[in-house]
Structure 1
Amino acid sequence: MHDSTVVVLLGTGNPRPERDASGPATAVVVGARVFLVDAGPGVERRLAAAHLPIDGVTALFITHLHSDHTLGLPDLIFTSWVMGRKQPLAAYGPHGLQNMTDHLVAAWAQDIEVRTNGLEKRTPGGYRVDVHEIRPGVVYDSGGVRVTAFVVEHGTWREAYGYRIDAPGRSVVISGDTKPSENLVRAAAGADVLVHEVYPEPRTAPNPTESATWPTYMRDFHTSDVEVGQLAARLQPKLLILTHIIRRGATDEELLANVRKSFGGRAVVGHDLDRY
């Protein structure tokens, strides 16, 4: 574990509800600052379980607007306000994030009115979100932390991003949802830590309970364990962390065995609340 910059896995799961794997969310903690990538279901409770601030993160970065990556957004907006947040939440993400946020705030209008004007007396406007709809390039640069967004390939999504976070003494790349991406290879060059999504290659064949298009979907939208290993072999990060795991019954050992067909460096299968 690095002394000043730590990766905390808050959600390593996928759209399927699982007891031990919340929706996608990864925190890069730099001293007292928390930079959060994605807001899957359960994110505020995972922040609490990780002993990270529940009254607001330093900044939120959304990779794309799939529901499993954003269902925790109203939780971040309103729970952090109820817990004491007074300043707008800084949120960065693709086109459409502003519209989504506006609708969420409108949907909770009665809650806002009661908490502001009733006996609770929460900070007026403390629920607000300062949305930045981004383009590829540096999207945040403050206090020695620089965040760069890069385009990834996630099937038919018109906008999907990964993020590189360069912090004191450590650089972390978070893939977001993507099939193998040359943009990611370029963005992750020289990074210390690669946090990458994964599914098990041998388990993509359709079965009678699934659509026959499932294997095509997986290849167009996601990256297999074999492919992640090949990417890591090119990049040679000091640490590869597998997350957003679509297991389909695969064990940690099976995932890592396929990664190690190409990559001989340190690789781990992420679990919620792991710290690296």
Structure 2
Amino acid sequence: MELYFLGTGAGMPSRQRNVTSIALNLLSERGVYWLFDCGEGTQQQILRSHVKLGRTEKLFITHLHGDHIYGLPGLLTSRAYLGGETPLTLYGPKGLKSFVEHSLAISQAHLSYSLKIVEIENEGLLFEDAGFIVETSRLEHRIESIGYRIVEKDQPGKLQHEKLAAMGVASGPIYGQLKQGKSVVLEDGRILNGADFVGPPLKGRKVVILGDTKYCRGAVHLARGADILVHEATFAKDRQELAEAYAHATTTDAARTAKEAGAAVLIMTHISSRYQIDDEEQLLEEARSVHLQSYVAKDFWSMEIERA
């Protein structure tokens, strides 16, 4: 599981940062990518990355400001041109369905795959299958903005092959039964209990990706115990009044959220174009004065999400 940042700027693109889009690499877990937001130029950013558009399974939109959705019509159409045939599910606030359907209809675009659009009406559980849970919470911005909490379910522990081999147990169907926790009887009469040969469960990872927001309790609640929190930090702390006027967060707002939520790692994104590469150290120092494990994301920067 890996976070890959396709765009990390706020409002409008700059030479250093494109507008917002984040990929969650789940190739090892389920063979796909999930995307979060799709600002203008996202498909160009994808072409410069290892992300495969045709293997995108889900696309989550945090809110309907242009720097988070203007790349959608082009990306959806390009996915069809590139031979994408697997279904794609698009999640986001009310109004997303109208925006996408009108854009595609007016441009006479034809998709070669099934597109499902889910408009989020209520907070809480959004999606669940055998491997993952996705939950949502409303944030505080100028328009409706949503945060997403992605929870990987705990995985069974690893079968201790070396221990079995040392006991002279050859690999085969018996290994599968033991991994399921079953007891098996060997040909020589020995009884093996699966629980004795399976390691402890692998704890699932938790990633929280927020839309634009000022500091709010909804963000803290959603980020509880997260391994990684991705939070906007549009402004440095000396622009607190400006941040509040536009319902955005500063570096210290983001760090405060991470600290209060007990998030292990904070990654700041949605950086205003007023800040250049030389300013990043200042932004980082401000956040780390509140929450030590803080980072500033850059375009095409990634972070592997390790198990605790």
Residue matched to 1:254: 282
Q: 1:217 to 1:184 in 2, by over 3 A?
A: closer
Name the structure 1 match of 2:128. 141
Q: Does 1:33 align with 2:32?
A: yes
Partner of 2:206: 171
Deviations 1:95-145 (A, max 9, x none): 101101111111221x54xxxxxxxxxxxx415521001121121223412
State the TM-score, normalizing by the size of structure 2. Answer: 0.75
- Higher radius of gyration, 1 or 2: 2
Percent identical residues? 32
User: What is the match of residue 268 of structure 1?
Assistant: 295
Which blocks of at least 5 consecutive residues in structure 2 are unaligned?
A: 154-203, 304-308
Q: Distance in 2 between matches of 1:52 and 1:75?
A: 16
| Deviations, residues 167-220 of structure 1 (Å, cap 9, x unaligned) | 253211011100001011111101100001003335538xxxxxxxxx456444
SS in 2 for 1:55: helix
List aligned pairs for 1:1-276, cutoff 5 A.
5-30=1-26, 31=28, 32-109=31-108, 111-112=109-110, 125-126=111-112, 128-134=114-120, 135-155=122-142, 157=143, 159-167=144-152, 169-204=204-239, 215-216=241-242, 218-249=244-275, 251-264=279-292, 266-276=293-303
How far off is 1:42 after superposition?
Answer: 1.7
Whether contact under 8 Å (2:259, 2:290) holds in the other structure is yes
Q: Does structure 2 retain, via aligned residues, the 8 Å contact 1:78–1:127?
A: no
Using the alignment, how far apart are the partners of 1:127 and 1:70 within structure 2? 20
Count residues with an aligned counterpart.
247
Could you tell me how far apart the structure 1 residues matched to 2:275 and 2:95 are? Answer: 34
Read off the aligned partner of 2:280 and give its amino acid letter: D
Q: Aligned partners of 2:49 and 2:244: how far apart in 1?
A: 31
Structure 1 length-normalised TM: 0.83
> Deviation above 6 Å: which 4+ runs of structure 1?
none
Question: Residues 164 and 273 (structure 1 numbering): CA distance in 2 closer, same or farther, change over 3 Å?
Answer: same
Could you tell me whether the CA contact under 8 Å between 2:234 and 2:269 is conserved in 1? no
Gap runs ≥5 in structure 1: 113-124, 206-214
| Alpha-carbon offset, residue 82 of structure 1 | 0.3
CA RMSD of aligned residues (A): 1.9
